[in-house]
Amino acid sequence: MSSNASMHGLWQSRWLFILAATGSAVGLGNIWKFPYITGENGGGAFVLVYLLCISIIGIPVMIAEVSLGRMGRQSPINTMKALAQKAGASPLWSSIGWMGAIAGFLILSFYSVIAGWALSYTLDMASGNFVNISAENSGKIFGDLLANPTQLTIWHTAFMILTLGVVARGVNAGLEKAIKVLMPVLFILLFILFGYALSSSGFGQGFSFMFDFDFSKLTTESIMVALGHAFFTLSLGLGAIMAYGAYMPADTSIAKTIIIVAFLDTAVAIMAGLAIFPIVFANGLEPSAGPGLLFQTLPIAFGQMSGGVIFGTMFFVLVSFAAWSSAISLAEPIVAWFVEKFKMSRTLAAVIIGFSAWLLGLATVFSFNIWSDVKMFDKTVFDLLDFLTTNIMLPLGGLLIAIFVGWKMSETKMMNEVGIDYPILFKLWRFTLRFLAPIAIIAVLVNGLI
Ligand code: PHE
């Protein structure tokens, strides 16, 4: 079993690791992205493939990634370097850490822009702009926000400062305390919204949209999107969860803990979908509206319910918080590496990374307005960054992690590390990493790219 020390600190308990990992996993991916890609990819069949990807590939790879982190106890780049050396494997395996740190940086750049939308909506909600709003006007408010680069940049800047502010201080102090309260409240609010959706005339239609499988709607690209999203939503394949694993106490069972985190993450996504689609159908909106789906639909619901101004404001505060706790984990691997490599302070590392990601984020800001016509492979800069990171880099990272743990790490070592009590389950897990996950990921990537 691994040692009990890391230069960056340790989570105080297993419970705090669960909170931190759930904080990382639950974010815009669940509340904003999952509903809109489900809408774009035709609903039920996509949801089914996504759930399969989570359970068959996501959870086993997540257990592997966290174990690597805890065995290495450093930034993912140095962890992979050290573990490869110990296992007598090629130093090239540290590319898992490298590619991950770059992917995390790229995702952070656009994640911050979208999280900025949530900040902006918090203010809009609080000022009562959505009371009794029509679907048309709700769409217009969203359109106006996207058309305004200055506005977007201000919110993007605010979010980036919030994020790197926490990273600079280390994660123990502020964040742990905040998410302990906020995550449960997020669940409660999602239940309230779900209750509202349940009573709306669109519920039946929304429900069937999410759970009736129509496989004719499934394309190879949707399968690729489902796999990529399984990685994205679990914060997998780029070292974020590896970095968090590095701060995990030595005596907790990784496997059991990760199953809880994956369950919570999936529950939030499904609830967000069940809250949104009924409103879409009840108001004659399009499920395939794209990235604006969350922002155009939920304000309509809040606008109609009593106490909607308060609930709506709280909701967007919580979305912002969920995004915040995820963004922190996107920055952590690369910031931790800067601290180790250049012996600089966390603050300086956070400023350098934060500023560079902010700068790159401007490309995403512009892709919604002045650069909306600039396209490569029929994708805007934002779409391209999203596709490259989520659908290619994360699965590739996951593939390498599976192969490394399955083939390069000794079986006994892993058995001691992961805390899977039943030998047969352990064998199944290892088989998945050695064969099932790599074959599935390669098949999806190859099919999707051709
Ligand atoms: N899991 C986060 C979400 O669903 C995003 C994320 C991806 C965070 C990768 C860290 C690493 O919003």
The per-residue pLDDT for 249 is 87
Looking from the CA of residue 394, the nearest atom of ligand 1 is 9
Nearest CA-CA partner of 287 in 51, 5, 40, 106: 40
pLDDT digits (tens, 9 = 90+) for 312-340: 898 899 899 899 989 999 999 999 899 99
Residue 196 Cβ contacting ligand 1 at under 6 Å: no
Distance of CA 200 from the midpoint of ligand 1 (Å): 31
For a ligand 1 pocket test, name from 261, 326, 328, 391 the mutation site with the most ligand atoms within 8 angstroms of its C-beta.
326
Structure confidence at residue 150 as a pLDDT band (50, 70, 90): very high
Question: pLDDT tens digits for 20-30?
Answer: 899 999 999 99
117 touches ligand 1 (CB under 6 Å): no
Predicted TM-score (pTM) of the model is 0.93
Q: Is 103 a pocket residue for ligand 1 (Cβ < 6 Å)?
A: no
Q: Is 232 in the pocket of ligand 1 (CB under 6 A)?
A: yes
Is the CB of residue 326 below 6 angstroms from any atom belonging to ligand 1?
Answer: yes
| C-beta of residue 110 within 8 angstroms of C-beta of residue 386 | yes
Mean pLDDT for all residues in the chain: 91
Cα(50)–Cα(44) distance, rounded to whole angstroms?
Answer: 10
**Ligand 1 neighbourhood includes 233 CB (under 6 angstroms):** yes
- Does the beta carbon of 24 lie inside 6 Å of ligand 1? yes
Beta pairing partners, 379: 376
